[in-house]
């Protein structure tokens, strides 16, 4: 006859193995980001994240929040919320990108020629 504590031990071991399996399945990405206003760099940073997580970039008067997910096609979908607080105005944009790994994607924010956002995702 087994010990009643053996069931608790086995359950905890299975939870630990399941948690490790889920961690191993996560996709790590280094997201490089550059925001320019009329050719002048406002923000240029890179950060590591796991697909499904959000990351925040900030520098002085500029902040960008990015959320990520993996599409069925294998592309990374990145949604960026951009806030720029100039001395004359506050600008808010939302832009969605579909990124192929190791390829640079560039877009004008909300079709404005003033702001250009460049992203590149490399698998970590």
Query: What are the distances in angstroms from CA 83 to CA 15, 43, 44, 89, 116?
Result: 41, 11, 14, 11, 13
> Could you tell me if residue 103 is inside a domain?
yes
Domain, as residue range, for 38: 27-123
In a domain, 76, yes or no: yes
Number of domains forming the structure of the chain: 1
Whether the pTM exceeds 0.85: the reply is no
Percent of the chain with pLDDT over 70: 90
What CATH number is given to the structural domain containing 104? 2.70.180
Q: What confidence tens digit (pLDDT) does each residue in 94-119 have? A: 999 999 989 999 999 887 888 999 99
DSSP conformational letter for 88: S
């Amino acid at each position: 006859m087994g010990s009643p504590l053996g069931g608790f031990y086995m359950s905890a071991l299975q939870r630990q193995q399941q948690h490790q399996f889920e961690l191993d399945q996560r996709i790590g990405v280094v997201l490089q980001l550059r925001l320019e206003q009329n050719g002048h760099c406002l923000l240029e940073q890179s950060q590591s994240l796991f697909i499904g997580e959000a990351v925040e970039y900030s520098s002085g008067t500029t902040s960008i929040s990015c959320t990520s997910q993996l599409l069925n096609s294998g592309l990374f979908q990145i949604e960026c919320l951009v806030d720029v607080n100039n001395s004359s105005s506050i600008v808010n944009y939302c832009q969605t990108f579909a990124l192929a790994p190791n390829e640079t994607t560039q877009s004008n924010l909300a079709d404005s020629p003033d702001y250009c956002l460049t992203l590149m995702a490399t698998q970590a």
